[in-house]
A and B are shown apart, each in its own frame.
Chain A
Amino acid sequence: MTTLSRAETEALIAEVLEVYPEKARKDRAKHLTANDPGIEQSKKCITSNRKSLPGVMTIRGCAYAGSKGVVWGPIKDMIHISHGPVGCGQYSRAGRRNYYVGTTGVDAFGTMNFTSDFQEKDIVFGGDKKLAKLLDEVEQLFPLHRGISVQSECPIGLIGDDIESVSKKGAAAIGKPIVPVRCEGFRGVSQSLGHHIANDAIRDWVLDKRDGSPDTSTPYDVAIIGDYNIGGDAWATRILLEEMGLRVVAQWSGDGTLAEMMNTPKVKLNLLHCYRSMNYISRHMEEKYGIPWMEYNFFGPTKIVESLRRIAAFFDDQVKEKTEAVIARYQPMMDAIVARYKPRLQGKKVMLYVGGLRPRHVIGAYEDLGMEVIGTGYEFGHNDDYDRTTKEMGDATLIYDDATGFELEEFVKKLKPDLVGSGIKEKYIFQKMGIPLRQMHSWDYSGPYHGYDGFAIFARDMDIALSSPVWGKLVPPWKKTVAEEEVKEAA
């Protein structure tokens, strides 16, 4: 498939939109565009963070998913109670592969599911008593936990339970923080508002708890913000930062602890990886504590080198020297990987449709392998995400916001990419169409993908997906034409 011109891309969008009723077509047209890297304000060409159309298949989550699944869930030494019916917690349990160090059930609780299991009578009479009892039980059964967060599911907001007062009473009784989070699933249009609510809960209930305690920080303290340690991502990041001579005092929130979060206001720089889910708390810390924050990108050697130098620029010459040494040490390893995989992957086209930071951050990594991203889009991005994306993408490439199942399928059919990077729900559709798919939400059970170590795995995974012999076996032998047989025999 050759690259489309602007007119062709626009024609493709119009063609795909044709099946919708008029009102829906008008609405969806605002969410699809041909990229123009020149413009500063993405809102001129794309609308985002709007309610999904009723009746179409969206792959968005809810506010509870954003709070419990993304921001709070990975904090390993806290118990996160899914307060409400059992399903929300159970079906989202441990799916994101946020790795952590610790003994599950003793001092770490990341993959466990705690729920208040609401029944009819709890809806009718209120669930506050049940929550209070649950808090007691948790303290008895898991005495080594460092705190509890109460993640509300939809019914809590609907019936108006006062989880704040129960939490306050419980916290006083057990002497540990209990954080009520009002992240009912019906709030907002996607998980994005859940991120915001979770950030605000951290701000109100956690962040200032150690203000005024003795300052034992060094001038090289940094915090990794918005890295959820999917498949070990945060560890691959941390190694590089420590080799630069920095001291990573907190990981938000992959493999993170409550104490790390409370200590974060003393760091010198906040390093923000996932802008979408944690820019709120970074902005707050900048205002209240004067901690600068910067976005960085640890996907692919080009972006890593760029990011390492930008991080080093915040510190003294000693750090800068070490940074150059780090870059020099890993460069031969990266060159070897590129030399090995680039000839196999050169010129392959990729379409992405994920959430958070990946639709723009992984573009550099694909380009390092000689691959080209011909379409990208966010499930729940906002205008500020698209502002940052348009510059990364080529001219007239396709950009789609909150793409529906139908649109994505049609785009893939027409553009015929060599690889699709999307979620598990898309995986089997596209693989049946004969297009390899890497599940880019949690790295398809692989990872880490961050940092230099991650790039080695990333390159290998992309090669595995694309070079698998299975893609040549999609046509059953009895349907093969004679011509194809002859080609095979000749070869």
Chain B
Amino acid sequence: MANIMIRQADGGGLTFYLPKRDLEAPISSIEFDTPEKWGGELKLDNGGAYYIDPIARPPRLPVSLRARRLGAAED
């Protein structure tokens, strides 16, 4: 589990940030992005994938969350 931060990117879309490794990457897809459910599997455009527990409604961004890495460490 790692602490991550998700923030609104300047050009729309979301940015993923992992402070521990100073990894900043645009999020290419998010599993659930509806007013009722938000979160799930995050796919990053650098090939990595992380999982955050879905929450009831989209949070106010930026937000710090706990995430689990899916698959091997990228880079």
Residues of chain A at the chain B interface (Cβ within 8 Å) = 40-41, 43, 47, 49, 192, 196, 280, 283, 286-287, 290, 382-384, 387
Cα distance, A192 to B21, chains bound together (Å): 11
Query: A70 CB to closest chain B CB, in angstroms?
Result: 16
Residues of chain B at the chain A interface (Cβ within 8 Å) = 5, 7, 17, 19, 22-25, 45-46, 60, 62-64, 75
CB of B22 within 8 A of CB of A383, answer yes
Contacts of B46 in A (CB 8 A): 41, 43
Cα distance, A283 to B23, chains bound together (Å): 13
Contacts of A49 in B (CB 8 A): 22
Contacts of A41 in B (CB 8 A): 25, 45-46
Q: Name the residue on A nearest B20 (C-beta).
A: A196
Q: Name the residue on B nearest A384 (C-beta).
A: B24
CB of B75 within 8 A of CB of A43, answer yes
From A40, A280, A286, A383, B7 is in contact (CB under 8 Å) with A286
From A192, A196, A286, B62 is in contact (CB under 8 Å) with A286
List 30 A-B pairs, Cβ < 8 Å.
A40-B45, A41-B25, A41-B45, A41-B46, A43-B46, A43-B75, A47-B75, A49-B22, A196-B19, A196-B22, A280-B19, A283-B5, A283-B7, A283-B17, A283-B19, A283-B62, A286-B7, A286-B62, A287-B7, A287-B62, A287-B63, A287-B64, A382-B22, A383-B23, A383-B24, A383-B75, A384-B22, A384-B23, A384-B24, A387-B24
Contacts of B23 in A (CB 8 A): 383-384
Contacts of B45 in A (CB 8 A): 40-41
Cα distance, A400 to B8, chains bound together (Å): 31
Question: For chain A, what secondary structure do more than half of its interface residues adopt (helix, strand, loop), or is it mixed?
Answer: helix
Cα distance, A47 to B7, chains bound together (Å): 24
Q: Which 10 A-B pairs have the closest CB atoms?
A: A384-B24, A382-B22, A287-B62, A43-B75, A286-B62, A41-B46, A287-B64, A283-B5, A384-B22, A43-B46
Query: A222 CB to closest chain B CB, in angstroms?
Result: 18
Query: B44 CB to closest chain A CB, in angstroms?
Result: 10
Contacts of B60 in A (CB 8 A): 290
Cα distance, A273 to B11, chains bound together (Å): 20
Cα distance, A387 to B24, chains bound together (Å): 9
Cα distance, A283 to B17, chains bound together (Å): 10
Cα distance, A192 to B62, chains bound together (Å): 23
List 10 additional contacts besides A40-B45, A43-B46, A196-B22; criterion CB under 8 Å: A41-B45, A41-B46, A192-B22, A283-B7, A283-B62, A286-B62, A287-B7, A383-B75, A384-B24, A387-B24
Query: B8 CB to closest chain A CB, in angstroms?
Result: 9
Contacts of B25 in A (CB 8 A): 41
Contacts of A384 in B (CB 8 A): 22-24
Q: Name the residue on A nearest B10 (C-beta).
A: A294
Query: A208 CB to closest chain B CB, in angstroms?
Result: 15
Contacts of B19 in A (CB 8 A): 196, 280, 283
Q: Name the residue on B nearest A381 (C-beta).
A: B22
